[in-house]
Amino acid sequence: MIMRRSLSLKSITMMILMAVLVWSVTLETCIARRGRHWRHNHRSSSDLSDSLSTKKPKSHSHSHHSSHNNNHHHKSKPKPKPKQKTPPKANSPVVSRPPKVQPPPKSNDDNSPVVSRPPKVQSPPLPPLKGSQVFNVMDFGAKGDGKCDDTKAFEAAWAGACKIEASTMIVPSEYTFLVGPISFSGPYCQANIVFQLDGTIIAPTDAKTWGKGLMWWIDFTKLKGIKVQGKGVIDGRGSGWWQQDYPFIDGETKLIVPLYNSTHQHPPMPIRSELDGRMPSIKPTALRFYGSFGVEVSGITIQNSPQCHLKFDNCVGVSVHDMVVSSPGDSPNTDGIHLQNTKDVLIHSATLACGDDCISIQTGCSNVYVHNVNCGPGHGISIGSLGKEGTKACVSNITVRDVAMHNTMTGVRIKTWQGGVGSVKGILFSNIQLNEVQLPIVIDQFYCDHSKCKNQTSAVAVEGVTYERIKGTYTVKPVHFACSDNSPCVDVQLSSIELKPVQERYHMYDPFCWQTFGELNTPTLPPIDCLQIGKPPRNKVHESDHDVC
């Protein structure tokens, strides 16, 4: 009995010991697990930041579980994460991100004046802001008061515009800019630059600025696609030069004989209003284009130039339209538009008033088309003078049509010097309306603007000239054809010529022809009986290798 109780006690003791052992192992395991989890959730904020910046959590569920445990064990610190300045690499709920993303836009909004800065950046001379295309002379220091010299400001604005294709240089309206001799030149400028002239540019009137004299005042050289446009004015203030050249003698003045002695007096001298010291004998052209391709001039007014108003020299592809030239009829040598060695020209919708030829077409010109032009006062539209001092002259394919002339010295004219060589070919004058023009139709191969010129046998040949629908009134002589003995004018065609005399203050004369051959395609008024029908006998037209153009 005692043995059984002893065995039962031992069995119970063993069971208790085994239970204690199992419980102790289980307790240790739980404590160990709890310890590891505690340590994980009680790392420092710096350790957490390092962990987030270097390791990505394995899944969204783990991230959510970690957040849950964190909230469960640390209710006293419910929001530690928003205070952490960590990059948005952690896969925390997306909802918590916008507050962190919003500040940069607010920062940009605070710096919104950056948007208005580009115009301010364009103001300094160079380098211009990349992509800017507008260069206003006022932003480069121009005063525009008509007194301060704005030449440097214009040069600086051009230097900026020159570097950018299709840029625009602006001369703004409501300002007057005093600008000395200036050249807007290439050939390293970009193409298609626009010179937007809406204000007024005036020339200096002091002799010191011009030195010994210059051939031009405003010059555009070696450019492609250059445009000068706007509603502005270029004022050459040329009366100082006009004084010194007075009186001016055109070669055709010898044909105009006054009726009364009183009319022998020269017309009143140009007003001496803007002269400051004696001006140089070399007079500048107001606006010149040289060696350029694709030139356009439109809208502007050029007035009171010391000499020629607008000149094109060695240019190809010229368009002039909707512009005005304005100078007194007695201003000497002030041609309106002067073409020299220039091809492919279109001139239309222009009003030209000056003291010399409204349009002057010189040697080296071809493919010139002029239409819808008002001319007067002035000396008409002229080809020449050509061949001066034995030079070679070549002019071809010229059309002048739909032109109105009033109170001009000549209408349509070809003028060459004795001794010259070359040729004038393919000329059409059509639909010319005349009002009190002294000499409407002229070919003069004995042109001379001196008191006396030497007689010479050679001449620039004139061939293939057509006059049609030329109507209006004249005051001296309707037709004057004076051609060379050695090189007569040939193939001169006349049709629909109606010219009526208006007696004014000059002697009037009948049509005159010398060595001029061609055809009368219709009756003319007055009859031009002096024209020799056909071709010259023995074909007097002399053509050598030197004469061929």
Known catalytic residues are 379
> Peptide bond before 187: cis, by omega within 30 degrees of 0?
yes
Helix, strand and coil percent figures for the chain, each rounded to 5 = 25, 35, 40
Tell me the two tokens of residue 524.
């003319």
Q: How many CA atoms lie within 13 A of 242 on its CB side?
A: 27
Measured CA angle at 252 (ends 436, 400), to 5 deg: 60
* Of the candidates 75, 74, 51, the residue with the CA atom closest to the CA atom of residue 63: 51
Q: Are strands 516-520 and 532-533 parallel, antiparallel or unpaired?
A: parallel
CA gyration radius for the chain? 46
424 contacts: CB under 8 Å, gap ≥ 6: 383, 384, 386, 393, 395, 396, 414, 416, 460, 461, 462, 463, 465
User: What separation in angstroms does the CA of 394 have from each of 244, 343, 365?
Assistant: 33, 12, 7
Distance CA 36, CA 34 (A): 5
Q: Are strands 316-321 and 337-340 parallel, antiparallel or unpaired?
A: unpaired
DSSP string for 55-102: ---S-HHHHHHHHHHHHHH-TTSS--GGGS---TTS---GGGSHHHHS
DSSP string for 401-451: EEEEEESBSEEEEEEE-BT-EEEEEEEEEEEEEEEEESEEEEEETT---SS
